[in-house]
């Protein structure tokens, strides 16, 4: 399967053979890719995932390969969804063309605005850790508690003198 010409290909089942995601195309949907070729991604391509109440779609593959010739970063798109936790996005047996631990060629896009995401690349998975961003009222409540604690401490010291 070779994706070209701005196509979006979302799969929720198994695919035989490899998938090549070229610059300007989108692939996702929780697919399992069987066969020796695995998943090959070119810079400028998009990998699309969606969170539901239980977690996130995962792409399973024998090989995860970076192929040359694209432009820009590989976008990891969540379509405005998020769920706090750490999740495997792409699982694989072999990593080719990427360097373990180096996610500088990836960017997270369209994550729910109330969350932040950090990607990591291990020997067997592209992962994301998602955290909720505290509301400003949370910081205000914490600051108020600190001020109240300081006032009580000061009052006790003045009372003892």
What is the 3 state secondary structure string of the chain? CEECCCCEEECCCEEECCEEECCCCEEECCCEEECCCCEEEECCCEEECCECCCCECCEEECEEEEECCCCCCEEEECCCCCCCEEEEEEECCEEECCCCCCCCCEEEECCCCCEEEEEEECCCEEEEEEEECCCHHHHHHHHHHHHHHHHHHHHHHHHHC
- pLDDT, one tens digit per residue, over 77-128 is 998 898 899 999 999 999 999 999 999 999 999 999 999 999 999 999 999 9
What pTM did the predictor assign? Answer: 0.79
Mean predicted lDDT score pLDDT of the chain: 86
**Residue 29: band (very low, low, confident or very high) from pLDDT cuts 50, 70, 90:** confident
In this prediction, residue 23 carries a pLDDT of: 93
Tell me which of 80 and 141 has the higher pLDDT: 80
């Amino acid at each position: 399967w070779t994706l070209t010409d701005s196509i979006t290909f979302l799969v929720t089942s198994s695919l035989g053979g490899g998938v090549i995601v070229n610059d300007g195309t989108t692939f996702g949907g929780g697919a399992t890719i069987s066969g020796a070729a695995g998943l090959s991604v070119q810079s400028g391509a998009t990998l699309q995932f969606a969170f539901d109440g239980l977690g996130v779609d995962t792409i399973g593959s024998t090989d995860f390969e970076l192929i040359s010739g694209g432009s820009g970063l590989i976008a990891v798109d969540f379509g405005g969804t998020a769920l706090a936790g750490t999740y495997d996005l792409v699982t694989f047996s072999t990593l080719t063309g990427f360097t373990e631990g180096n996610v500088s060629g990836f960017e997270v896009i369209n994550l729910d605005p109330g969350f932040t995401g950090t990607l990591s690349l291990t020997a067997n998975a592209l992962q994301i850790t998602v955290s909720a961003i505290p509301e400003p009222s949370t910081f205000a409540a914490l600051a108020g508690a600190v001020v109240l604690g300081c006032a009580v401490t000061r009052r006790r010291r003045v009372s003892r003198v």
